Structure 1
């Protein structure tokens, strides 16, 4: 896999990344909430990139994986800035973004900020605006009061330790919502969503589809696939989707 490299952002955050050299347009994998760049989908795409000679980048947001900082110090705006900084520093030419879960939200922010550098987008169980439209929406009055008073609460997770949710995460999320206005994406877009996803509702995928403005936008539902979207069949579909966008 090669040695982990590091990029320091203008804000002083040290971002860990792995870059695979190859031809462009390059492919960038953007991971999910509290995940890291060593996940199944990221490594599968890196293997695909090596086999096909394609440039590829995977990285950890600050507070995730091998990057600097504590998770509870971060927020959507910080992680989008991390992504923009490392993409700008270590990639050349146009890039196809592959955003998993929260990475789909980060991708939408990047497309809005540096759209001229983006050649395509593949969303995997993309979760735009989840801090507001899922977390805050579903908090009880007691949980909302606790978050506002103490600045943090914990949510149970199916993937390990409980998620620490900070007041800053929620409030910053409101400053970075993407499903309140049209999303111009004048390049190929493929959205992938499992019907058995317990974390991202099907309506989120449909709402994202409705907000995207573009001539080549497709949404595929996979019956029985869960939020991980990491079965051999799902991984093969991700690879085919990236190849479609690149073609």
Structure 2
């Protein structure tokens, strides 16, 4: 199915160029819904009904479904008539709970719940940073539901890798104190507090130590100037994934968040190309 890429992308980029705070009230086309789950926090999400394959956006660590990439994807999916869902992990954004009480395993369960209960048919998972790690875990657990994967600054195994890279003395201090002040430029404190329990639990979900058995198309976009998650992590993912249809796209001036208008334009183009490919094959 052929599309006028340029027209779609021009419309999309014009919308993305509007400052987030000024556009928030205008661009929210969907309303927040809450999924009540037995013995689990209510999950906040926004859903757009449409054609298959659908698109599901997985935010990064300590992020939420209201970011520029998540909102831009909703506009894009609406323009194509494809279904789209974005959501907040347990303890994040508008979902119930406190973030400190959750971990990689809990957020993986959130993604699987979305796939099992909130969407229908095959899905393209778009994972940003930690969301890229979670999309791999979800694809391993629900291969029959995954049409394709798109990773943006994929942070596979990131917290575990960063912790193991610390000097022995520092690791001992962290273990004695019970938590690690993980440095970041993305909040006022300059760090995220990660418990030792969080780090140990995360080790159970590492994916880069062995082949990743999946056959769907995979696209990995990473910025060479990403100072949070090195671009070579996406190269490692590409090496491990067994799919024959995998591309790594490196942006020379790309930063971690990949939220500049040209970054978003590339993300949209990549997903549009995948939808075209999948629907043509179907």
- Coarse TM-score class (shorter-chain normalised): over 0.9
Residue 183 of structure 1 aligns to a residue whose secondary structure is coil
Distance 1:22 1:106, change over 3 A: same
CA–CA distance in structure 2, aligned partners of residues 74 and 107 of structure 1 = 17
1:14 shift after superposition: 1.2
Alignment-derived partner of residue 244 in structure 1: 273
**For the pair shown, which has the larger CA radius of gyration, 1 or 2?**
2
Partner residue of 1:154 out of 181, 190, 194 = 181
Unaligned runs of 5+ in 1: none
Q: Do structure 1's residue 110 and structure 2's residue 138 form an aligned pair?
A: yes
Asked if the contact 1:143/1:153 (under 8 Å) is kept, the reply is no
> Conserved in 2, the CA contact under 8 Å of 1:191 and 1:219?
yes
Quote the Cα distance in structure 1 between the aligned partners of 2:114 and 2:147: 17
Query: What displacement does 1:32 show?
Result: 0.5
Deviation sequence 1:55-107 (CA, Å, 0-9, x none): 00000001111111111111100000011112211100110100110001000
> Is the 2:90–2:102 Cα contact (8 Å) retained in structure 1?
yes
> Normalized against structure 1, the TM-score is what?
0.95
The one-character-per-residue Cα deviations of 1:98-149 (angstroms, maximum 9, x if unpaired) are: 0110001000100110111000000001010012112x12434454234323
The question of 1:80 aligning with 2:108 is answered yes
Aligned mates of 2:213, 2:183 — CA distance in 1: 35
Asked if 1:210 corresponds to 2:225, the answer is no
Query: 2:51 aligned to 23, 30, 42, which one?
Result: 23
Q: Report how far residue 218 of structure 1 moved.
A: 0.4
Contact 1:80 1:109 in 2 (8 A): yes
> Which residue in the other structure is 2:164 paired with?
137
Picking from 166, 169, 192, the partner of 2:198 is 169
Deviation at 1:10, TM superposition (A): 4.2
Residues 156-235 of structure 1 correspond to what in structure 2 (within 5 A)? 156-160=183-187, 161=189, 162-235=191-264
Is residue 208–residue 237 contact of structure 2 (8 Å, CA) maintained in 1? yes
| Cα pair 1:189 1:245 within 8 Å, conserved | no
Distance 1:48 1:131, change over 3 A: same
State the superposition RMSD in angstroms: 1.3
Mapped pair 1:41 → 2:69: yes
TM-score (ref. length: structure 2): 0.84
Are the equivalent residues in 1 in contact too, given 2:184–2:228 (CA < 8 A)? no
Q: What's the offset of the Cα at 1:151?
A: 2.3
Q: Render the CA deviation track for 1:19-57: whole Å, top value 9, x for unaligned.
A: 011111100000101111101110110111111111000
In the aligned structure 1, how far is the partner of 2:36 from the partner of 2:177? 31
Give me the whole-angstrom Cα distance separating, in 2, the residues matched to 1:141 and 1:63: 32
Flag structure 2 segments of 5+ consecutive residues without an equivalent.
1-27, 277-282
Comparing 103-112 with 184-193, greater Cα deviation is found at: 184-193
- 8 Å CA contact 1:128, 1:178 repeated in 2: yes
Deviates more, 1:157-166 or 1:227-236: 157-166
Kept after mapping to 2: 8 A contact 1:61/1:82: yes
1:156 Cα offset (Å): 3.1
